[in-house]
Amino acid sequence: MEQQTTNYYVPAQSHWPIVGAVGLLFIAIGAGMTVQQMTSEATSGSWLLTIGIVIILYMMFGWFNDVIKESDAGLYSAQMDRSFRQGMSWFIFSEVMFFAAFFGALFYVRMIAIPWLGGASNNEMTGQVLWPNFEAIWPLVTTPAGDTTQAMGWQGLPLYNTVILLISSITLHFAHVGLEQNKRKQLTAFLTITVVLGVVFLFLQAEEYVHAYREMGLTLSAGVYGNTFFLLTGFHGLHVTIGTLMLFVMLIRVIKGHFSPERHFAFQATSWYWHFVDVVWLGLFFFVYVI
């Protein structure tokens, strides 16, 4: 169906970038106004935000559609394929650094900020004068100001979720092997299982959040333990959501007969992304829940 060229394909003009830029404009203004309007009745911000998200989805749909068409028309060389792969790898590296910053904040708070508030190092007087009753422990269930919460254990839901994500990485690998060996049934079956596992993970994560908010008093504003817990697991959950959507799109494309053993960059990229999300979870499970 496709012949490969050796020339590097430079696309002609495209309107997707400007559509994307306008989409981001709406998202940035909309998100900013939504946050500002949280205490009021106004909803203009959330409308702008929704419009922005719709524009971005439209852009992704159209842009990827163009890329798939060009690829099927045989316009892409092996060099082009390398560009895509390297681009995705560097993007994942930037995501790693994003999570690294939050992990850094967690480690700093646990190893330095809280012990110092309790009077460690040369901060004896800080402890005595400001909050004499403060106890430097982790998880920080009582803040210096006196707010209390409960710590989330690692057994139960978090452990199930760990197992689910680990299995999903393995099933995705089997799907990939199926694709490379042109065993389409194996591919479809394992990819479907992976998508289902992703959805189950998200469902359990939502359960956990409801439990934390309703029964444990563990909220986003419950001191720095709650802050790090929700921002780390929350951003991870957001990435799982995006990853699951990507996998779902891949599943639809697989069912429609896309991809060949030699050419399946989109599948490969999604798979890298999913394994990355899995590794982040392992870090989370150990440093946020277990230790």
Partner 1 sequence: MSTLSTAQEHDEHHDHKPKGMMRWILTTNHKDIGSMYLIFSFAMFLIGGAMAMVIRAELYQPGLQIVEPNFFNQMTTVHGLIMVFGAVMPAFTGLANWLIPMMIGAPDMALPRMNNWSFWILPMAFAILLSSLFMEGGGPNFGWTFYAPLSTTYAPDSTALFVFSVHIMGISSILGAINVVVTIINMRAPGMTYMKMPLFVWTWLITAFLLIAVMPVLAATVTMVLTDKYFATSFFSAAGGGDPVLFQHIFWFFGHPEVYIMILPSFGIISAIVPAFSRKKLFGYSSMVYATASIALLSFIVWAHHMFTTGMPVAAELFFMYCTMLISVPTGVKVFNWVATMWRGSMTFETPMLFAIAFIVLFTIGGFSGLMLAITPADFQYHDTYFVVAHFHYVLVTGAIFSIMAAAYYWLPKWTGYMYDEKLGKLHFWASLISVNVLFFPMHFLGLAGMPRRVPDYALQFADFNQLVSLGGFAFGVSQLIFLVVVIKCARGGEKAPAKPWEGAEGLEWDMPSPAPYHSHTTPPEVK
**Residues near partner 1, by CB under 8 A:** 7-8, 10-18, 20-22, 24-25, 27-29, 31-33, 35-36, 38, 63, 79, 82-83, 86-87, 90-91, 93-95, 97-98, 100-102, 104-105, 108-109, 112-114, 116-117, 121-122, 130, 140, 143-145, 147, 220-221, 223-228, 231
C-alpha torsion 56→36→96→253, nearest 10: -20
Closest CA to 216 of 168, 191, 207: 207
* Residue closer to partner 1 (CB basis): 143 or 171: 143
d(CA 118, CA 114): 6
8-state DSSP, 152: P
* Residue closer to partner 1 (CB basis): 27 or 251: 27
Beta bridge partners of 148: 142
* Residue closer to partner 1 (CB basis): 138 or 160: 138
Close Cβ partners of 213 (under 8 Å, ≥ 6 residues apart): 219
The least CB distance from residue 114 to partner 1, in Å, is 6
The least CB distance from residue 223 to partner 1, in Å, is 4
CB 53 within 8 A of CB 92: no
The least CB distance from residue 286 to partner 1, in Å, is 20
The least CB distance from residue 266 to partner 1, in Å, is 15
Close Cβ partners of 137 (under 8 Å, ≥ 6 residues apart): 114
The least CB distance from residue 91 to partner 1, in Å, is 6
* Residue closer to partner 1 (CB basis): 254 or 277: 277
The least CB distance from residue 130 to partner 1, in Å, is 8
8-state DSSP, 39: G
The least CB distance from residue 20 to partner 1, in Å, is 5
Query: Look-up: residue for tokens 């995501």?
Result: 95
237: its two tokens:
């959950």
Close Cβ partners of 42 (under 8 Å, ≥ 6 residues apart): 33
* Residue closer to partner 1 (CB basis): 144 or 158: 144
d(CA 220, CA 238): 16
* Residue closer to partner 1 (CB basis): 97 or 291: 97
* Residue closer to partner 1 (CB basis): 123 or 188: 123
